[in-house]
Amino acid sequence: GRNAKIKDDPHIFKRSEQFTNSHLAKKYGKILERKTKEQKNHKDSMQRIEERDDFTKTKEEDLLLAVMIA
């Protein structure tokens, strides 16, 4: 069939192999891109949570101080 001819003709076979590789690379690149984006988002949100916790802590400490002073 058609595939046998492609396999026999090294030129066509190489071209189709290159196409497959570049296609996979593109696909993999997109996956990597998405993963790094997700990791960055995760890091950002963790940072925001930490900042919020720090903010809450200082608020609580301020309240404690206010109570102690009063």
43 vs 68, residue with greater confidence: 43
* Ordered alpha helix ranges (H), the chain: 2-8, 10-69
Taking only the tens place, the pLDDT of each residue in 11-64 is 766 777 777 788 788 888 888 888 889 989 889 988 988 888 888 888 888 888
pTM of the model: 0.41
Do residues 19 and 27 touch, judged by C-beta distance below 8 A?
no
Q: What is the CA radius of gyration of the chain?
A: 29
Question: Is the per-residue pLDDT at 9 higher than 60?
Answer: yes
CA distances from 37 to 15, 20, 30, 42, 62 (A): 33, 25, 10, 9, 37
Instruction: Give the residue-averaged pLDDT of 61-70.
Output: 82
pLDDT score for 5: 63
